[in-house]
Amino acid sequence: MEIEANGWTFHVVVGRLDQGDFICIPNWNIGGELAGPGDVHWNEERLLQTTILHPDNVKAVVSGIAEAARWVEKYHTDVCG
């Protein structure tokens, strides 16, 4: 999926493995495990640790990505059961 957050565009892959959920943003070299897409705060902190971005507004960008991961979980639950 493509996410736009605070003026940046990200191609995001969110998935689930036996070991848990993950997020990858290949064109920004960001990736890692998710606590679960619904845990926006933990996911924000995790993405902040792995990001190579250094704009003044990196927190807003990461927050947008973490919120999008939460939305994906809700959409999947609502549509796919």
With left for phi above 0 and alpha for psi between -120 and 50, is residue 10 left, alpha or beta?
Answer: beta
pLDDT at 4: 75
Residues 6+ apart with CB under 8 A from 64: 3, 4, 5, 6
pLDDT at 16: 79
Split at pLDDT 50, 70, 90, the class of 1 is confident
48 neighbors 30 (Cβ within 8 angstroms):
no
> Quick one: average pLDDT of 51-77?
65
Report the predicted TM-score, pTM, of the whole model to 2 decimal places: 0.59
Q: Domain residue spans in the chain?
A: 2-80
Residues 6+ apart with CB under 8 A from 44: 59, 62, 63, 66
In whole numbers, what is the pLDDT of the chain averaged over residues?
A: 72
Q: What is the pLDDT of residues 24-44, one digit of tens each?
A: 888 777 778 888 667 778 877
Instruction: For tokens 């619904």, name the residue.
Output: 38
